[in-house]
Amino acid sequence: MSKTALITGITGQDGSYLAELLLAKGYEVHGLIRRASTFNTSRIDHLYQDPHETDAKLFLHYGDQSDGARLVTLMYEIQPDEVYNLAAQSHVRVSFDEPEHTADTTGTGTVRLLEAVRQSGIKPKFYQASSSELYGATPPPQDENTPFYPRSPYAAAKLYSYWITKNYREAYGLFAVNGILFNHESPRRGETFVTRKITRAVAAIKAGTQEHLWLGNLDAVRDWGYAAEYVEGMWRMLQVDEPEDFVLATGVGITVREFVQISFERAGLDWEEHVRFDERYLRPTEVDALIGDRSKAEAKLGWVPTIDGRELAKLMVDADVEALTHAGRPWHDEVKLASWGTA
């Protein structure tokens, strides 16, 4: 019997990689999507299967993290073995503009989904997309025992989700875990996160269609990994005997400035000729440095990433240059190139 999984946030960066991974493992995959006035499924269109076909394995359902009744209905209908809660308003800077909406989707949305799980009585394994942003002002290296100090409405909402997931584990005996993931990126990364903003701009500047790139704080240090490798870690967290929380990180921290420099050099460009400062991209409270210690995940899950921030910058520049050259190139070409090295 194949397993059934429900992924919230399936249209996002991680959701698309996770759907691919689970389909490749023979899962029946169900995804929650939001109704929008434009198509929002570009990251998973290559996975589309006609639901009328008898061997279809991917099913999409309209729903929203703000609609608890809908989540309950879906839980009864789908009866999943595993639930991956990836849906969130995930942009830290935007969370300062929309703090209440962020609390509702990124925070309260989690308890709505956990309640749907609890009320259904099905007891699927539950993965919560927790974040290195929880550490905030606490200096690196950060591991599962490092104190949290959130520095944004986004991080405060994720803190609630972290604790409510832990509480449902302890209170109701659910197999519910937090994956505390450090930044992970890819050619599918949302265009307003700094890595993709940089690599898209490099491609456009190289093509002669853009001259300047406007950025905020270049001194922030991040531990950037490759999203395709991180979703494997999420899945492994649900395959062990006991529910536990895990950090996933490369252990390599570099500044935004270094990511910029490597990206421009990859395209044969001098970054100082093109990058300009714009205070609009500063945050009221910044997270200065995140560098993770993944020892526990390595020991208990056998999870070892192969691509750090420096390699990622090159991979993403190449993909954006290629995408501009061959517009319409499907996402999955790049996935086939991804190497997962730990077996």
Q: Hey, which residues are catalytic here?
A: 131, 133, 154
What's CA 145's distance to the chain center, in Å?
22
CA–CA distances in Å: residue 170 to residues 83, 106, 125, 162, 178:
18, 21, 14, 13, 13
Minimum CB separation from ligand NDP for residue 100, in Å? 13
The least distance separating ligand GDR from the CB of residue 134, rounded to whole angstroms, comes to 9
User: How many Cβ atoms from other residues are within 10 Å of residue 270's Cβ?
Assistant: 10
Interaction partner, residue 92 (ligand GDR, ligand NDP, none; CB < 5-8 Å by kind) = ligand GDR
User: Of 62 and 277, which has the nearer Cβ to ligand GDR?
Assistant: 277
C-alpha to C-alpha distances, 96 to 129, 155, 198, 205, 258, nearest whole angstrom: 20, 11, 22, 30, 26
Contacts of 27 (CB under 8 A, 6+ apart): 2, 3, 4, 5, 57, 82
Amino acid at 115: E
212 is an annotated ligand-binding site residue: yes
Report how far residue 210's alpha carbon sits from residue 190's, in angstroms, rounded to the nearest whole number.
19
| C-alpha angle 283-288-290 in degrees, rounded to nearest 5 | 120
68-97 residues near ligand GDR, rule: CB under 6 A: 90, 92-93
197 binding partner (options ligand GDR, ligand NDP, none; Cβ < 5 to 8 Å by kind): ligand GDR
Q: How many residues line the site for ligand NDP (CB under 6 A)?
A: 26
13 binds, among ligand NDP, ligand GDR, none (CB under 5 to 8 A by kind): ligand NDP
Choose the contact partner of 11 out of ligand NDP, ligand GDR, none; CB within 5 to 8 A by kind.
Answer: ligand NDP
Nearer to ligand NDP, 199 or 267 (CB): 199
Place of tokens 């992924």: 7
- The answer to the question of residue 181 lying near ligand NDP (CB under 6 A) is yes
Q: Residues in the site for ligand GDR, rule: CB under 6 A?
A: 90, 92-93, 131-133, 183, 192-195, 197, 215-217, 220, 222, 256, 281, 283, 286
